[in-house]
Amino acid sequence: MRLILLNPTIIDGKSTEPIEGFSIIIENNRISKLSKSPTQTEIKGAKVIDLHGFFAIPGLFDTHTHLVSPLSDVFHANETTVARYIRAGKECMDGLSVGITSVRAVGTHNYLDLAWKRSFANNMFSGPRIFASGYALTTTAGHAVEKEITYASDGGPGFRKIIREQLKEGVDHLKLLMSGGCFGDRWDSPTDTHFLTDEIESVFGIAQQRGYKVAVHAGSPESTKIAVKAGAHSIEHGYSLDEESVALMVSNNTYYVPTLLITHMTNEAALTPYHKNYITQWPLPNNLLERANANRAAHSSAFKMALEAGVKIAAGSDAGPLKDASILEIELLVQNGMSPMNAIKAATLTSAAVCEADEELGSIEEGKCADLVILRKNPVEAIGNIRSVYQVYKNGKLAIDESQ
């Protein structure tokens, strides 16, 4: 059945200003037409929803998620594998309820991202589309080596074997943990680079040979430069950057997923009631609070440097639950200097490009897949209005209806 969304204000993910006076016509899961005045022929037999006074944005992305919080061992101690699998799916479904129609997984246990990807794609359950990585690749004494979401190896041959196993399972991209992390152990600092030259060449050699993109966890300018020169598709975190690393990202069209929430999960960084409630509900242990506070200034500075230089920035939270963390990350983009309009673009069209899906997703354009979020309030006026969800459409079908 043809669906006509009548006269919402359209924030299309591309334009610099909201668009007035157009209706969105959806047929066969796609946006068939943006019409100033639907014809009687188009209206006949169609379902028409009057959205005058509402706001339509593209479906939102989170391009850095593990489907469950990477701190699940803290917040969900002693959770069984089966319980974690179920919770991952539930949190994805809850994410759809706030407008997250697509996610890029960057490290999950036992390919649970692929399991849920197939379940949602086959309509067994209603959830966001998933771009899957399988395990994140690390080294012995590398970042997150103790976490179940990583697969550790050493030397070029070891990584070649792991990557081929990942490809065999059906992953969409690869995730490489090049450096230490903000919440790492003593030997796992963001300033440390863990991969050797032969290991890097093995990872990127196979990725380039087989046509797969690599998302690289890089915490320092040095690890960022190594990753970009090797061919990284995106830099994850970038807790500190310098002018050279930022210039390399610009010249190589490398995407940046800053995951600002990681260093903003503290009272000192919480400026809104929603943010304060989040850190009350999901409090970091004291040792992690100290690290977040210690790294936040450099992280914010790196983000602002990248923003001013014109680096392509996408939205990804690296936290959970998805329905809370993803929206909070979009707010933090604005809190750290991005305009609301550009934050929406970061969470839609730029994020779709990170997932190599911008021909199909990420903007409200004729011919594209009809993933849409209808809001009661204008998110350009205040980014917090992105929470005022009225309806969510995925593949042209009404997935979430908060109109009652």
Q: Are residues 102 and 11 in the same domain?
A: no
* Count of alpha carbons within 13 angstroms of residue 43, beta-carbon side: 11
Closest CA to 88 of 71, 108, 73: 108
pLDDT in tens, 97-139: 999 999 999 999 999 999 999 999 999 999 999 999 999 999 9
pTM of the model as a whole: 0.96
The Cβ of residue 115 has, within 10 Å, a number of other Cβ atoms equal to 16
Please answer whether residues 326 and 98 qualify as being in contact, where contact means their C-beta atoms are separated by less than 8 angstroms: yes
Q: Are residues 40 and 163 in the same domain?
A: no
Q: Are residues 97 and 218 in the same domain?
A: yes
pLDDT in tens, 160-208: 999 999 999 999 999 999 998 887 776 788 888 999 999 999 999 999 9
pLDDT in tens, the chain (404 residues): 899 999 999 999 999 999 999 999 999 999 999 999 998 989 999 999 999 999 999 999 999 999 988 877 777 778 888 999 999 999 999 999 999 999 999 999 999 999 999 999 999 999 999 999 999 999 999 998 988 999 999 999 999 999 999 999 999 999 999 998 887 776 788 888 999 999 999 999 999 999 999 999 999 999 999 999 999 999 999 999 999 999 999 999 999 999 999 999 999 999 999 999 999 999 998 888 999 999 999 999 999 999 999 999 999 999 999 999 999 999 999 999 999 999 999 999 999 999 999 999 999 999 999 999 999 999 999 999 999 999 999 999 999 999 87
Q: Are residues 48 and 64 in the same domain?
A: no
Q: Are residues 76 and 27 in the same domain?
A: no
DSSP 312-375: EE----S-S-HHHHHHHHHHHHHHTT--HHHHHHHTTHHHHHHTT-TTTSSS--TTSB--EEEE
Please answer whether residues 318 and 262 qualify as being in contact, where contact means their C-beta atoms are separated by less than 8 angstroms: yes
Q: Which domain CATH number covers 39?
A: 2.30.40.10
Q: How far apart are CA 46 and CA 61, in angstroms?
A: 29
Q: Are residues 25 and 132 in the same domain?
A: no
Q: Which domain CATH number covers 73?
A: 3.20.20.140
pLDDT of residue 2: 94
Q: How far apart are CA 57 and CA 222, in angstroms?
A: 37
Element (H, E) at 281: helix 273-281
Please answer whether residues 297 and 260 qualify as being in contact, where contact means their C-beta atoms are separated by less than 8 angstroms: no
Burial class of 36 by CB neighbour count within 10 A (0 to 12, 13 to 18, 19+): exposed
Q: Are residues 69 and 158 in the same domain?
A: yes
As given in the structure block, the two tokens for residue 276 are 């304060």
Secondary structure class of 29 (helix, strand, coil): coil
250-283 burial code (b ≥16 CB/10 A, e <16): eeeebbbbbbbbbbbbbeebbeeeebeebbeebe
Range of the domain at 378: 3-58+363-401
Rounded (5°) CA angle 369-370-374: 150
What is the number of residues in the chain?
Answer: 404
Please answer whether residues 115 and 85 qualify as being in contact, where contact means their C-beta atoms are separated by less than 8 angstroms: yes
As given in the structure block, the two tokens for residue 90 are 């539930």
Q: How far apart are CA 99 and CA 91, in angstroms?
A: 13
pLDDT of residue 346: 98
Amino acid at 365: E
Element (H, E) at 392: strand 389-394
Q: Are residues 114 and 28 in the same domain?
A: no
pLDDT of residue 217: 98
Q: Are residues 42 and 151 in the same domain?
A: no
Considering Cα of 335, then 271, then 93, then 8, what sign does the dihedral take? negative
Q: Total domain count for the chain?
A: 2
Closest CA to 354 of 261, 259, 252, 256: 256
Q: Are residues 176 and 229 in the same domain?
A: yes
Q: Are residues 54 and 95 in the same domain?
A: no
How many helices and strands in the chain, by DSSP H and E? 13, 19
**Any alpha helices (H) in 98-194, and if so which ranges?**
112-121, 155-169
SS3 content of the chain, % helix, strand, coil (to 5): 40, 20, 40
Q: Are residues 54 and 68 in the same domain?
A: no
- Within 238-315, strands assigned E span 255-257, 312-313
pLDDT of residue 110: 93
Rounded (5°) CA angle 108-171-400: 70
